[in-house]
Structure 1
Amino acid sequence: MSEIERGRGVALWSQISGILASDILKGQLRQGEQLPSAQELAARFDVNRHTVRRAIAALEERNLVRTEQGRGTFVQEQTMDYVISRRTRFTQNMRNLNVEADMEFLEDAREIPPPQVAQALGMDRNDYVYRIETLDRADGHIVDYSTAYFPAARFNGLPAVYRRLRSVTRTLAEFGVADYERKHTRVSARLPDANTARLMKQPANRPVLYVQSINADTRGVPVQYGVTRFSGDWVQLVLMADH
Protein backbone atom coordinates (compact mmCIF):
# COMPACT_ATOMS: atom_id res chain seq x y z
CA MET A 1 0.00 0.00 0.00
CA SER A 2 1.08 3.59 -0.51
CA GLU A 3 2.46 5.35 2.53
CA ILE A 4 2.20 9.01 3.44
CA GLU A 5 4.85 11.51 2.38
CA ARG A 6 5.94 14.23 4.75
CA GLY A 7 6.92 17.67 3.55
CA ARG A 8 4.99 17.64 0.26
CA GLY A 9 2.40 20.23 1.28
CA VAL A 10 -0.53 17.85 1.87
CA ALA A 11 -1.80 17.38 5.42
CA LEU A 12 -1.02 13.96 6.87
CA TRP A 13 -4.65 13.29 7.83
CA SER A 14 -5.70 14.05 4.24
CA GLN A 15 -3.15 11.60 2.85
CA ILE A 16 -4.29 8.89 5.27
CA SER A 17 -7.92 9.53 4.38
CA GLY A 18 -7.07 9.25 0.69
CA ILE A 19 -5.22 5.96 1.15
CA LEU A 20 -8.07 4.41 3.13
CA ALA A 21 -10.65 5.74 0.67
CA SER A 22 -8.71 4.14 -2.17
CA ASP A 23 -8.65 0.83 -0.29
CA ILE A 24 -12.45 1.03 0.14
CA LEU A 25 -13.23 2.02 -3.44
CA LYS A 26 -10.96 -0.73 -4.81
CA GLY A 27 -12.65 -3.29 -2.57
CA GLN A 28 -9.53 -4.01 -0.53
CA LEU A 29 -11.64 -2.98 2.47
CA ARG A 30 -15.05 -4.60 1.93
CA GLN A 31 -18.51 -3.34 2.88
CA GLY A 32 -19.19 -4.00 6.55
CA GLU A 33 -15.54 -4.73 7.31
CA GLN A 34 -14.14 -3.17 10.47
CA LEU A 35 -11.22 -0.80 10.07
CA PRO A 36 -8.14 -1.24 12.24
CA SER A 37 -8.27 0.67 15.52
CA ALA A 38 -7.01 4.26 15.76
CA GLN A 39 -3.98 2.96 17.63
CA GLU A 40 -3.19 0.44 14.88
CA LEU A 41 -3.60 3.03 12.12
CA ALA A 42 -1.45 5.49 14.05
CA ALA A 43 1.28 2.87 14.23
CA ARG A 44 0.94 1.99 10.55
CA PHE A 45 1.29 5.59 9.38
CA ASP A 46 3.60 6.71 12.22
CA VAL A 47 1.29 9.53 13.32
CA ASN A 48 -0.66 10.36 16.48
CA ARG A 49 -4.23 9.21 17.03
CA HIS A 50 -5.60 12.74 16.64
CA THR A 51 -4.37 12.73 13.02
CA VAL A 52 -6.04 9.35 12.47
CA ARG A 53 -9.32 10.60 13.94
CA ARG A 54 -9.31 13.55 11.51
CA ALA A 55 -8.76 11.12 8.63
CA ILE A 56 -11.66 8.92 9.80
CA ALA A 57 -13.91 11.98 10.19
CA ALA A 58 -13.17 12.92 6.57
CA LEU A 59 -14.18 9.41 5.46
CA GLU A 60 -17.41 9.72 7.44
CA GLU A 61 -18.20 13.02 5.69
CA ARG A 62 -17.90 11.16 2.38
CA ASN A 63 -20.18 8.42 3.75
CA LEU A 64 -17.49 5.80 3.18
CA VAL A 65 -17.37 4.64 6.79
CA ARG A 66 -19.57 4.69 9.87
CA THR A 67 -18.56 4.68 13.53
CA GLU A 68 -20.57 2.71 16.08
CA GLN A 69 -20.11 3.74 19.69
CA GLY A 70 -18.31 1.08 21.66
CA ARG A 71 -17.62 -1.08 18.59
CA GLY A 72 -15.40 0.76 16.14
CA THR A 73 -15.38 2.05 12.56
CA PHE A 74 -16.77 0.04 9.65
CA VAL A 75 -16.88 0.39 5.88
CA GLN A 76 -20.32 1.74 5.03
CA GLU A 77 -22.71 -0.72 3.41
CA GLN A 78 -25.18 0.28 0.72
CA THR A 79 -28.20 2.10 2.16
CA MET A 80 -31.70 0.62 1.96
CA ASP A 81 -34.51 2.34 0.09
CA TYR A 82 -37.33 2.75 2.63
CA VAL A 83 -40.57 3.54 0.82
CA ILE A 84 -43.02 5.98 2.39
CA SER A 85 -46.43 5.91 0.75
CA ARG A 86 -50.11 5.96 1.67
CA ARG A 87 -49.74 2.42 3.04
CA THR A 88 -46.31 2.39 4.64
CA ARG A 89 -45.63 -0.88 6.50
CA PHE A 90 -42.22 -1.62 8.04
CA THR A 91 -42.54 -5.40 7.74
CA GLN A 92 -43.55 -5.18 4.08
CA ASN A 93 -40.69 -2.82 3.32
CA MET A 94 -38.20 -5.24 4.87
CA ARG A 95 -39.78 -8.18 3.01
CA ASN A 96 -39.48 -6.28 -0.28
CA LEU A 97 -35.81 -5.66 0.45
CA ASN A 98 -35.30 -9.31 1.39
CA VAL A 99 -33.75 -8.50 4.75
CA GLU A 100 -34.41 -10.03 8.15
CA ALA A 101 -36.33 -7.61 10.38
CA ASP A 102 -36.66 -7.52 14.14
CA MET A 103 -38.37 -5.15 16.57
CA GLU A 104 -37.33 -4.48 20.17
CA PHE A 105 -39.85 -2.99 22.61
CA LEU A 106 -38.25 -0.36 24.83
CA GLU A 107 -41.16 0.89 26.91
CA ASP A 108 -44.84 1.80 26.95
CA ALA A 109 -46.87 4.22 29.06
CA ARG A 110 -50.39 5.58 29.43
CA GLU A 111 -50.13 9.35 29.69
CA ILE A 112 -51.43 12.79 28.80
CA PRO A 113 -49.87 13.56 25.40
CA PRO A 114 -47.92 16.65 24.39
CA PRO A 115 -50.20 19.31 22.85
CA GLN A 116 -49.02 18.65 19.27
CA VAL A 117 -49.78 14.94 19.63
CA ALA A 118 -53.28 15.61 21.02
CA GLN A 119 -53.93 17.99 18.13
CA ALA A 120 -52.66 15.53 15.53
CA LEU A 121 -54.92 12.79 16.91
CA GLY A 122 -57.91 15.11 17.20
CA MET A 123 -58.14 14.58 20.96
CA ASP A 124 -58.91 16.80 23.92
CA ARG A 125 -55.79 17.94 25.77
CA ASN A 126 -56.71 15.89 28.86
CA ASP A 127 -57.40 12.63 27.01
CA TYR A 128 -54.92 9.79 27.48
CA VAL A 129 -52.75 8.09 24.90
CA TYR A 130 -50.57 5.02 24.89
CA ARG A 131 -46.96 5.86 24.06
CA ILE A 132 -44.89 2.96 22.74
CA GLU A 133 -41.17 3.16 21.96
CA THR A 134 -39.39 0.60 19.81
CA LEU A 135 -36.15 -0.05 17.95
CA ASP A 136 -36.27 -1.65 14.51
CA ARG A 137 -33.38 -3.66 13.12
CA ALA A 138 -32.65 -4.98 9.65
CA ASP A 139 -30.08 -7.76 9.32
CA GLY A 140 -28.97 -6.92 12.86
CA HIS A 141 -28.41 -3.19 12.26
CA ILE A 142 -30.49 -0.50 13.99
CA VAL A 143 -32.40 1.34 11.29
CA ASP A 144 -34.84 3.38 13.36
CA TYR A 145 -36.03 4.39 16.80
CA SER A 146 -39.77 5.06 16.92
CA THR A 147 -42.25 6.65 19.29
CA ALA A 148 -45.90 5.89 18.51
CA TYR A 149 -49.01 7.33 20.16
CA PHE A 150 -52.46 5.72 20.09
CA PRO A 151 -55.75 7.05 21.60
CA ALA A 152 -56.15 5.06 24.84
CA ALA A 153 -59.95 5.31 25.00
CA ARG A 154 -60.38 3.73 21.56
CA PHE A 155 -57.67 1.10 21.97
CA ASN A 156 -57.96 0.04 25.60
CA GLY A 157 -55.12 -2.37 26.47
CA LEU A 158 -53.26 -1.84 23.19
CA PRO A 159 -49.67 -2.21 24.51
CA ALA A 160 -50.21 -5.84 25.57
CA VAL A 161 -51.72 -6.69 22.18
CA TYR A 162 -48.89 -4.91 20.37
CA ARG A 163 -46.26 -6.80 22.33
CA ARG A 164 -47.98 -10.08 21.49
CA LEU A 165 -48.57 -9.44 17.79
CA ARG A 166 -45.46 -7.32 17.12
CA SER A 167 -47.19 -5.46 14.29
CA VAL A 168 -49.12 -2.19 14.16
CA THR A 169 -51.29 -3.49 11.31
CA ARG A 170 -52.31 -6.68 13.11
CA THR A 171 -52.75 -4.84 16.42
CA LEU A 172 -55.12 -2.27 14.92
CA ALA A 173 -56.99 -5.06 13.14
CA GLU A 174 -57.51 -6.68 16.55
CA PHE A 175 -59.37 -3.50 17.54
CA GLY A 176 -61.51 -3.44 14.40
CA VAL A 177 -59.34 -1.17 12.22
CA ALA A 178 -59.13 -3.34 9.11
CA ASP A 179 -57.14 -0.79 7.11
CA TYR A 180 -55.44 2.56 7.57
CA GLU A 181 -53.55 5.05 5.43
CA ARG A 182 -50.85 7.64 5.89
CA LYS A 183 -52.65 10.96 6.23
CA HIS A 184 -49.62 13.17 6.81
CA THR A 185 -45.82 12.82 6.59
CA ARG A 186 -43.20 15.42 7.43
CA VAL A 187 -39.50 14.65 6.92
CA SER A 188 -36.54 16.63 8.22
CA ALA A 189 -32.91 16.06 9.17
CA ARG A 190 -31.76 16.98 12.64
CA LEU A 191 -29.14 16.12 15.20
CA PRO A 192 -30.24 13.44 17.66
CA ASP A 193 -30.65 14.17 21.35
CA ALA A 194 -28.42 12.26 23.77
CA ASN A 195 -30.99 9.50 24.34
CA THR A 196 -31.57 8.93 20.61
CA ALA A 197 -27.83 8.83 19.90
CA ARG A 198 -27.35 6.31 22.72
CA LEU A 199 -30.19 4.04 21.60
CA MET A 200 -29.21 4.16 17.94
CA LYS A 201 -25.51 3.79 18.82
CA GLN A 202 -24.35 6.67 16.69
CA PRO A 203 -22.41 9.90 17.29
CA ALA A 204 -24.46 12.84 18.54
CA ASN A 205 -23.05 15.03 15.75
CA ARG A 206 -24.45 12.82 12.96
CA PRO A 207 -27.97 13.81 11.79
CA VAL A 208 -30.90 11.41 11.74
CA LEU A 209 -33.85 11.48 9.34
CA TYR A 210 -36.78 12.62 11.46
CA VAL A 211 -40.20 11.53 10.19
CA GLN A 212 -43.47 12.69 11.78
CA SER A 213 -46.57 10.88 10.56
CA ILE A 214 -50.32 10.50 11.13
CA ASN A 215 -52.18 7.31 10.19
CA ALA A 216 -55.97 7.38 9.85
CA ASP A 217 -58.67 4.75 9.40
CA THR A 218 -60.89 4.52 6.32
CA ARG A 219 -63.20 7.19 7.79
CA GLY A 220 -60.27 9.60 8.10
CA VAL A 221 -60.12 9.37 11.90
CA PRO A 222 -56.52 9.42 13.19
CA VAL A 223 -55.46 6.16 14.86
CA GLN A 224 -51.72 6.71 15.31
CA TYR A 225 -49.25 9.57 15.54
CA GLY A 226 -45.64 8.59 15.12
CA VAL A 227 -42.15 10.01 15.30
CA THR A 228 -39.54 7.81 13.65
CA ARG A 229 -35.84 8.60 13.67
CA PHE A 230 -34.10 6.81 10.82
CA SER A 231 -30.36 6.19 10.66
CA GLY A 232 -28.99 8.02 7.62
CA ASP A 233 -26.20 5.42 7.53
CA TRP A 234 -28.65 2.65 6.69
CA VAL A 235 -31.78 4.22 5.23
CA GLN A 236 -32.62 6.34 2.22
CA LEU A 237 -36.23 7.52 2.31
CA VAL A 238 -38.21 7.18 -0.93
CA LEU A 239 -41.43 9.22 -1.01
CA MET A 240 -43.96 7.66 -3.36
CA ALA A 241 -46.72 9.68 -5.01
CA ASP A 242 -50.28 8.52 -4.38
CA HIS A 243 -51.91 6.52 -7.11
Structure 2
Amino acid sequence: MTDIERRGGLAIWRQIARDLEGQVADGTLPPGGQLPTEAALAQRYGVNRHTVRRAVADLEDRAIVTVAQGRGTFVCTDLIDYRLSRRTRFSENIRRNKQTPGGKLLAAATVSADRAVAERLAIPVGASVQRLDSLRTADNVPINLSHQHFPGDRFPGLAEAVERHGAITPALAEFGVGDYTRRETRLSARPASRREARLLQLAEGAPVLVTENLNVDLDGRPIEFSQTLYAADRVQLTVEP
Protein backbone atom coordinates (compact mmCIF):
# COMPACT_ATOMS: atom_id res chain seq x y z
CA MET A 1 0.00 0.00 0.00
CA THR A 2 1.31 3.48 -0.87
CA ASP A 3 1.72 5.66 2.23
CA ILE A 4 -0.91 8.40 2.61
CA GLU A 5 -0.60 11.18 5.19
CA ARG A 6 -4.00 11.12 6.90
CA ARG A 7 -3.46 13.91 9.40
CA GLY A 8 -1.76 16.40 7.12
CA GLY A 9 -3.25 19.48 5.57
CA LEU A 10 -3.52 17.99 2.06
CA ALA A 11 -6.73 16.15 1.22
CA ILE A 12 -6.27 12.42 0.68
CA TRP A 13 -7.70 12.53 -2.84
CA ARG A 14 -5.19 15.23 -3.74
CA GLN A 15 -2.35 13.07 -2.42
CA ILE A 16 -3.55 10.18 -4.59
CA ALA A 17 -3.83 12.44 -7.63
CA ARG A 18 -0.33 13.79 -6.98
CA ASP A 19 1.10 10.26 -6.62
CA LEU A 20 -0.52 9.07 -9.86
CA GLU A 21 0.62 12.22 -11.65
CA GLY A 22 4.16 11.47 -10.50
CA GLN A 23 3.90 7.96 -11.94
CA VAL A 24 2.87 9.47 -15.27
CA ALA A 25 5.77 11.93 -15.15
CA ASP A 26 8.41 9.28 -14.43
CA GLY A 27 7.05 6.82 -17.00
CA THR A 28 5.74 4.23 -14.54
CA LEU A 29 2.38 4.91 -16.19
CA PRO A 30 3.37 5.45 -19.85
CA PRO A 31 1.37 7.42 -22.46
CA GLY A 32 -1.58 5.32 -23.54
CA GLY A 33 -1.12 3.02 -20.53
CA GLN A 34 -4.09 1.92 -18.48
CA LEU A 35 -4.47 2.77 -14.80
CA PRO A 36 -5.44 0.03 -12.33
CA THR A 37 -9.16 -0.29 -11.63
CA GLU A 38 -10.89 1.82 -9.00
CA ALA A 39 -11.04 -1.23 -6.73
CA ALA A 40 -7.32 -1.89 -7.12
CA LEU A 41 -6.43 1.75 -6.46
CA ALA A 42 -8.72 1.88 -3.44
CA GLN A 43 -6.96 -1.17 -2.01
CA ARG A 44 -3.52 0.23 -2.83
CA TYR A 45 -4.17 3.53 -1.06
CA GLY A 46 -6.41 2.14 1.68
CA VAL A 47 -9.35 4.39 0.82
CA ASN A 48 -12.87 4.01 -0.55
CA ARG A 49 -13.72 4.16 -4.25
CA HIS A 50 -15.29 7.60 -3.95
CA THR A 51 -11.92 9.06 -2.92
CA VAL A 52 -10.17 7.33 -5.84
CA ARG A 53 -12.88 8.52 -8.20
CA ARG A 54 -12.34 12.12 -7.11
CA ALA A 55 -8.58 11.84 -7.63
CA VAL A 56 -9.05 10.39 -11.12
CA ALA A 57 -11.60 13.09 -11.98
CA ASP A 58 -9.00 15.71 -11.06
CA LEU A 59 -6.46 14.08 -13.38
CA GLU A 60 -9.07 13.92 -16.15
CA ASP A 61 -9.93 17.61 -15.67
CA ARG A 62 -6.25 18.43 -16.16
CA ALA A 63 -5.99 16.20 -19.29
CA ILE A 64 -3.52 13.82 -17.66
CA VAL A 65 -5.81 10.82 -18.08
CA THR A 66 -8.91 10.04 -20.08
CA VAL A 67 -11.76 7.79 -18.92
CA ALA A 68 -13.19 5.42 -21.54
CA GLN A 69 -16.59 4.28 -20.29
CA GLY A 70 -16.64 0.51 -19.88
CA ARG A 71 -12.95 0.15 -20.81
CA GLY A 72 -10.96 1.91 -18.10
CA THR A 73 -8.78 4.95 -17.48
CA PHE A 74 -5.82 5.68 -19.74
CA VAL A 75 -2.89 8.07 -19.63
CA CYS A 76 -3.30 10.78 -22.24
CA THR A 77 -0.84 10.75 -25.11
CA ASP A 78 0.82 13.74 -26.74
CA LEU A 79 -1.13 14.94 -29.75
CA ILE A 80 0.12 13.51 -33.03
CA ASP A 81 0.68 16.18 -35.66
CA TYR A 82 -1.08 14.46 -38.56
CA ARG A 83 -0.49 16.21 -41.86
CA LEU A 84 -3.08 16.26 -44.64
CA SER A 85 -1.36 17.01 -47.91
CA ARG A 86 -1.27 15.94 -51.56
CA ARG A 87 0.52 12.76 -50.48
CA THR A 88 -0.99 11.83 -47.14
CA ARG A 89 0.46 8.54 -45.88
CA PHE A 90 -0.40 7.16 -42.45
CA SER A 91 2.89 5.39 -41.78
CA GLU A 92 4.96 8.43 -42.75
CA ASN A 93 2.90 10.68 -40.46
CA ILE A 94 3.33 8.35 -37.51
CA ARG A 95 7.06 7.83 -38.05
CA ARG A 96 7.49 11.60 -38.34
CA ASN A 97 6.21 11.75 -34.77
CA LYS A 98 8.83 9.15 -33.77
CA GLN A 99 6.26 6.44 -33.17
CA THR A 100 5.74 3.01 -34.68
CA PRO A 101 2.78 2.67 -37.05
CA GLY A 102 0.60 -0.42 -36.97
CA GLY A 103 -2.91 -1.60 -37.56
CA LYS A 104 -5.12 -4.38 -38.76
CA LEU A 105 -7.72 -5.06 -41.39
CA LEU A 106 -11.05 -5.44 -39.58
CA ALA A 107 -13.23 -6.43 -42.52
CA ALA A 108 -13.19 -6.68 -46.30
CA ALA A 109 -16.09 -7.15 -48.67
CA THR A 110 -17.17 -6.67 -52.26
CA VAL A 111 -20.22 -4.38 -52.23
CA SER A 112 -22.33 -2.40 -54.69
CA ALA A 113 -21.58 1.30 -54.96
CA ASP A 114 -24.30 3.54 -53.59
CA ARG A 115 -24.85 6.96 -55.12
CA ALA A 116 -22.38 8.80 -52.89
CA VAL A 117 -19.54 6.32 -53.48
CA ALA A 118 -20.30 6.04 -57.20
CA GLU A 119 -20.17 9.81 -57.69
CA ARG A 120 -16.83 10.15 -55.91
CA LEU A 121 -15.22 7.21 -57.71
CA ALA A 122 -16.77 8.15 -61.09
CA ILE A 123 -18.35 4.72 -61.53
CA PRO A 124 -21.97 3.65 -62.14
CA VAL A 125 -24.31 3.23 -59.20
CA GLY A 126 -24.36 -0.47 -58.34
CA ALA A 127 -20.87 -1.12 -59.73
CA SER A 128 -18.59 -3.47 -57.82
CA VAL A 129 -16.56 -1.83 -55.03
CA GLN A 130 -13.88 -3.24 -52.74
CA ARG A 131 -14.58 -1.99 -49.18
CA LEU A 132 -11.89 -2.26 -46.52
CA ASP A 133 -12.39 -1.37 -42.83
CA SER A 134 -9.15 -0.85 -40.91
CA LEU A 135 -7.97 0.20 -37.46
CA ARG A 136 -4.60 1.97 -37.32
CA THR A 137 -2.35 2.50 -34.34
CA ALA A 138 0.71 4.42 -33.16
CA ASP A 139 2.81 2.56 -30.59
CA ASN A 140 -0.15 0.18 -30.27
CA VAL A 141 -2.55 3.00 -29.32
CA PRO A 142 -5.60 3.30 -31.64
CA ILE A 143 -5.42 6.45 -33.77
CA ASN A 144 -7.99 6.11 -36.53
CA LEU A 145 -10.71 3.94 -37.98
CA SER A 146 -11.11 4.01 -41.76
CA HIS A 147 -13.71 2.83 -44.27
CA GLN A 148 -12.14 2.74 -47.74
CA HIS A 149 -13.79 2.13 -51.12
CA PHE A 150 -11.93 1.15 -54.31
CA PRO A 151 -13.26 0.40 -57.81
CA GLY A 152 -13.78 -3.36 -57.81
CA ASP A 153 -13.01 -4.00 -61.47
CA ARG A 154 -9.63 -2.28 -61.15
CA PHE A 155 -8.55 -3.76 -57.81
CA PRO A 156 -9.84 -7.37 -57.56
CA GLY A 157 -8.24 -9.14 -54.62
CA LEU A 158 -7.09 -5.90 -53.01
CA ALA A 159 -7.82 -7.15 -49.49
CA GLU A 160 -5.44 -10.08 -49.95
CA ALA A 161 -2.72 -7.71 -51.18
CA VAL A 162 -3.23 -5.47 -48.13
CA GLU A 163 -2.93 -8.50 -45.86
CA ARG A 164 0.35 -9.49 -47.56
CA HIS A 165 1.92 -6.04 -47.33
CA GLY A 166 0.25 -4.70 -44.20
CA ALA A 167 -0.43 -1.35 -45.89
CA ILE A 168 -2.44 0.18 -48.74
CA THR A 169 0.36 1.88 -50.71
CA PRO A 170 2.43 -1.25 -51.52
CA ALA A 171 -0.78 -3.20 -52.14
CA LEU A 172 -1.89 -0.67 -54.77
CA ALA A 173 1.52 -0.98 -56.43
CA GLU A 174 0.64 -4.60 -57.26
CA PHE A 175 -2.13 -3.19 -59.47
CA GLY A 176 0.13 -0.74 -61.26
CA VAL A 177 -0.59 2.29 -59.07
CA GLY A 178 2.95 3.33 -58.14
CA ASP A 179 1.87 6.68 -56.74
CA TYR A 180 -1.30 8.59 -55.98
CA THR A 181 -2.31 11.97 -54.61
CA ARG A 182 -5.06 13.49 -52.53
CA ARG A 183 -7.53 15.46 -54.64
CA GLU A 184 -9.87 16.44 -51.83
CA THR A 185 -10.31 16.23 -48.05
CA ARG A 186 -13.47 17.30 -46.22
CA LEU A 187 -13.31 17.83 -42.45
CA SER A 188 -16.02 17.51 -39.82
CA ALA A 189 -16.54 16.25 -36.26
CA ARG A 190 -19.17 14.26 -34.40
CA PRO A 191 -19.63 11.98 -31.37
CA ALA A 192 -18.31 8.42 -31.61
CA SER A 193 -20.82 5.59 -31.80
CA ARG A 194 -20.62 2.73 -29.31
CA ARG A 195 -18.71 0.51 -31.77
CA GLU A 196 -16.37 3.31 -32.85
CA ALA A 197 -15.65 4.20 -29.23
CA ARG A 198 -14.89 0.57 -28.41
CA LEU A 199 -12.45 0.19 -31.30
CA LEU A 200 -10.72 3.52 -30.65
CA GLN A 201 -10.74 2.98 -26.86
CA LEU A 202 -12.76 6.12 -26.22
CA ALA A 203 -15.73 6.91 -24.03
CA GLU A 204 -19.00 6.45 -25.90
CA GLY A 205 -19.96 9.80 -27.37
CA ALA A 206 -16.41 11.16 -27.22
CA PRO A 207 -15.59 13.49 -30.14
CA VAL A 208 -13.96 12.13 -33.26
CA LEU A 209 -12.51 14.11 -36.14
CA VAL A 210 -13.84 12.90 -39.49
CA THR A 211 -12.20 13.26 -42.89
CA GLU A 212 -13.75 12.30 -46.23
CA ASN A 213 -10.94 11.71 -48.68
CA LEU A 214 -10.63 11.26 -52.42
CA ASN A 215 -7.36 9.90 -53.82
CA VAL A 216 -6.52 9.78 -57.54
CA ASP A 217 -3.77 8.17 -59.60
CA LEU A 218 -1.27 10.24 -61.55
CA ASP A 219 -3.67 10.35 -64.51
CA GLY A 220 -6.34 11.92 -62.30
CA ARG A 221 -8.56 8.83 -62.13
CA PRO A 222 -10.25 8.23 -58.75
CA ILE A 223 -8.88 5.15 -57.01
CA GLU A 224 -10.09 5.54 -53.42
CA PHE A 225 -12.91 7.23 -51.55
CA SER A 226 -12.70 6.89 -47.79
CA GLN A 227 -14.02 8.12 -44.49
CA THR A 228 -11.53 8.19 -41.62
CA LEU A 229 -12.34 8.79 -37.95
CA TYR A 230 -9.57 10.11 -35.67
CA ALA A 231 -9.52 10.05 -31.87
CA ALA A 232 -9.75 13.78 -31.23
CA ASP A 233 -7.75 13.64 -28.01
CA ARG A 234 -4.77 12.01 -29.75
CA VAL A 235 -4.51 13.78 -33.10
CA GLN A 236 -4.34 17.30 -34.45
CA LEU A 237 -4.90 17.58 -38.18
CA THR A 238 -2.60 19.97 -40.05
CA VAL A 239 -3.73 20.91 -43.56
CA GLU A 240 -0.82 21.63 -45.87
CA PRO A 241 -1.22 23.47 -49.18
TM-score scaled to structure 2, two decimals? 0.81
* Identical aligned residues as a percent: 35
Q: 1:23 to 1:124 in 2, by over 3 A?
A: same
The 5-angstrom pairing of residues 98-177 of structure 1 reads: 98-177=98-177
Q: Partner residue of 1:24? A: 21
After superposition, what is the alpha-carbon deviation per residue over 1:4-46, rounded to whole angstroms, capped at 9, x for unaligned?
99xxxxxx9xx94797279638937754354453235567595
SS at match of 1:117: helix
After superposition, what is the alpha-carbon deviation per residue over 1:68-93, rounded to whole angstroms, capped at 9, x for unaligned?
46653132121211111110011212
Task: Give ranges in structure 2 of 5+ residues lacking alignment.
Answer: none
The AA in structure 2 aligned to 1:166 is G
Q: 1:20 to 1:216 in 2, by over 3 A?
A: same
In 2, the alpha carbon distance for the partners of 1:41 and 1:88 equals: 42
In 2, the alpha carbon distance for the partners of 1:137 and 1:57 equals: 26
The AA in structure 2 aligned to 1:120 is R
Superposition RMSD on alpha carbons, in Å?
3.0
The AA in structure 1 aligned to 2:21 is I
Check conservation: 2:81, 2:236, Cα contact below 8 A. Answer: yes
After superposition, what is the alpha-carbon deviation per residue over 1:178-235, rounded to whole angstroms, capped at 9, x for unaligned?
2211111112221111221122222112111111100011222110011111112322
In 2, the alpha carbon distance for the partners of 1:110 and 1:169 equals: 20
Q: 1:182 to 1:17 in 2, by over 3 A?
A: farther
Q: 1:53 to 1:210 in 2, by over 3 A?
A: farther
- How much has 1:134 moved relative to structure 2? 0.9
Q: Partner residue of 2:86? A: 86
Q: Partner residue of 1:9? A: none
- How much has 1:54 moved relative to structure 2? 6.1
SS at match of 1:219: coil
Q: 1:52 to 1:134 in 2, by over 3 A?
A: same
In 2, the alpha carbon distance for the partners of 1:154 and 1:31 equals: 44
Residues matched between the structures, number? 233
- How much has 1:175 moved relative to structure 2? 1.2
SS at match of 1:210: strand
Q: 1:204 to 1:4 in 2, by over 3 A?
A: farther
Check conservation: 2:16, 2:52, Cα contact below 8 A. Answer: no
Check conservation: 1:2, 1:19, Cα contact below 8 A. Answer: no
Between 22-31 and 220-229, the greater mean CA deviation after superposition: 22-31
Q: 1:37 to 1:162 in 2, by over 3 A?
A: closer
Check conservation: 2:144, 2:229, Cα contact below 8 A. Answer: yes
In 2, the alpha carbon distance for the partners of 1:61 and 1:128 equals: 48
Check conservation: 1:17, 1:59, Cα contact below 8 A. Answer: no
- How much has 1:56 moved relative to structure 2? 3.6
SS at match of 1:24: helix
